[in-house]
């Protein structure tokens, strides 16, 4: 796309709200959809918010490479430039509520963050698919 001789580029789209698909006593699995934009997605920004009992919250941000085997279980192209991403998180405290947001990053920069996932806690094994 051109405008006044300049090439316009677009960051990745805002991912869908992360859907929690599996929890166990040790891991949480979530999936989301995202469109790549003008350049391939290289990373994801993951916001992990711990919801504290007094109503306060604590958020940490992690930069996750698309091919990081510690976080990214699968990236599957489901349409032209549209991807389904499955992430697995293992460094969470049991019985603690968390919410998650993701943003995709390309050479253009980061896209917008997704909406927050539903609050979820690790505890007993639970398949939510």
Can you give the pLDDT at residue 5? Answer: 53
Helix (H, G, I), strand (E, B) or coil at 53: coil
Can you give the pLDDT at residue 41? Answer: 94
Number of domains in the chain: 1
89 in any annotated domain: yes
> Which has more pLDDT, 17 or 1?
17
Q: What is the C-alpha to C-alpha distance for residues 78 and 19, in angstroms, rounded to an integer?
A: 17
Q: pLDDT tens digits, residue range 36-60?
A: 888 999 999 999 999 988 878 999 9
Q: pLDDT tens digits, residue range 82-120?
A: 999 999 999 898 888 999 999 999 999 999 999 999 999
Residue 2 has pLDDT above 50, yes or no: no
Which of 28, 12, 39 minimizes the C-alpha distance to 89? 28
What residues make up the domain containing 34?
8-112
Which of 106, 80, 85, 113 minimizes the C-alpha distance to 10? 106
Q: 10 pLDDT band (50/70/90 cuts)?
A: confident
42 in any annotated domain: yes
Helix (H, G, I), strand (E, B) or coil at 43: strand
Q: What are the b/e assignments for 43-78, b being 16+ CB within 10 Å?
A: bbbbbbbebeeeeeeeeeeeebebeeeebbeeeeee
125 in any annotated domain: no
Q: Give the CATH number of the domain where residue 73 resides.
A: 2.60.40.10
122 in any annotated domain: no
């Amino acid at each position: 796309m051109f405008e006044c001789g300049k090439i316009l580029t677009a960051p990745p789209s805002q991912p869908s709200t992360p859907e929690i698909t599996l929890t166990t006593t040790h891991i949480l699995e979530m999936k989301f959809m995202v469109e790549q934009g003008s350049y391939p997605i290289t990373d994801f920004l993951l916001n992990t918010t711990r919801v504290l009992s007094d109503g306060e919250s604590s958020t940490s941000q992690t930069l996750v490479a698309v091919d990081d085997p510690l976080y990214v279980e699968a990236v599957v192209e489901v349409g032209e430039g549209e991807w389904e991403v499955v992430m697995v998180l293992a460094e969470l405290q049991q019985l603690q509520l968390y919410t998650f947001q993701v943003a995709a990053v390309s050479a253009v920069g980061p896209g917008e963050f997704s909406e927050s996932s539903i609050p979820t806690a690790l505890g007993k094994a639970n398949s939510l698919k």
